[in-house]
Amino acid sequence: HADFDTVHSIPIALLKPGKTVAVPESPLTIRTVSYYPNAQIGRAQEGAAPVESPANQGVAVKMNVVVTPTAVTYAENQINTATAYVEVLGPEGSLGIWLVSNVIDDRFPPQMVTLGEQSWEIALRLKRHYYPFEVELVDFSHEKYPGTEIPFNYSSEVMVRHSDTTKNQKALIYMNHPLRYEGLTFYQASFANDDRTSIFQVVRNPGWVLPYVSVLLMGVGMLVQFGMHFFKFLNKRSH
């Protein structure tokens, strides 16, 4: 929570095997055991050899998660799953080794490091971009096919609160009906935590203004064309 939590961010460029990074304003140090720019997280893939897990804490142990390194992808519709095994060190030595990855998100239980009376959540997350507005989930609806657990439709009622209150907006986001706001498009992607968390895919479209410019240009062109014919008509009548 922003009122009482402090976030310490370590750039991914520093996650080099054997390298240690001190966590500011804490007694903790992070040591990278291994790092993979892209990997499959889950059960072992057929024909691929998973990495032997050095983890002794967190989801890797509780959920028997396996890491299979894969080649880095440059496809536009795919993302690389950055993954690492990191050891957390306290003043008196190792507190354990955790598996972290940018796909281990809110759908998984938080990975906590505890030292004395303090606790820290450890995670490897995608780069965050901060904007002058926040999106509040007002209500979430999850409909299923009768007699099954297969989602039929899920939707999120949200309230967008902007630093400029005149731009506040309420919206309903559901499948194939995204929210477009200040050059960003919010798609309903998934959900978690027993329907208490809604997950959106956010896409920036640099050309979002082009359709409006096109319509404006067409309107101006039609006015010019109409004006030219109108003045010709007036000239003919005057003669």
| φ, ψ at 54 (rounded to 5°) | -90, 0
Give the integer Cα–Cα distance in Å for 180 and 29: 41
Cα dihedral sign, 3-115-61-93: positive
225: three-class secondary structure by DSSP: helix
Are 195 and 155 in a shared domain? yes
Please, what is the Cα angle at 46 between 40 and 50, to 5 degrees?
50
pLDDT above 90 for 36: yes
* Same domain (yes/no): 41, 99: yes
Decide if 166 contacts 133 (C-beta within 8 A).
Answer: no
User: Are residues 50 and 150 part of one domain?
Assistant: no
Residue 37 lies in a domain: yes
Indicate the residue type of 149.
E
Residue 32 domain-assigned (yes or no): yes
Asked whether residue 233 is assigned to any structural domain, the reply reads no
pLDDT at 181 over 70: yes
Q: Are residues 162 and 110 in the same domain?
A: no
Residue 215 Ramachandran class (φ > 0 left, ψ -120 to 50 alpha, else beta): alpha
Q: What's the rounded mean pLDDT across residues 89-115?
A: 91
Same domain, 96 and 22: yes
Residue 190 resides in a domain: yes
94 pLDDT exceeds 90? Answer: yes
Q: Where is average pLDDT lowest: 153-157, 205-209, 211-215? A: 205-209
Is residue 126 within 8 Å of residue 90, measured between CB atoms?
A: no
- Distance of alpha carbon 110 from alpha carbon 193, whole angstroms: 12
Does 48 share its domain with 88? yes
Please give the structure tokens belonging to residue 29: 């140090």
Residue with tokens 């007002």: 138
Which residues lie closer than 8 Å to 114 by C-beta, 6 or more apart?
95, 120
pLDDT tens digits, one per residue of 48-75: 667 788 999 999 888 888 898 899 999 8
Give me the chain's average pLDDT, please.
87
Structural domain total, the chain: 2
φ, ψ at 106 (rounded to 5°): -65, -10
- Residue 154 structural domain: 133-204
The torsion angles phi and psi of 87, rounded to 5 degrees, stand at: -105, 135
- The secondary element (H helix, E strand) that includes residue 187 is strand 184-192
Q: How far is CA 100 from CA 30, 34, 117, 122, in A?
A: 12, 11, 23, 8
φ, ψ (nearest 5 deg) of residue 6:
-115, 130
pLDDT score of 46 more than 60: yes
| Residue 238 belongs to a domain | no
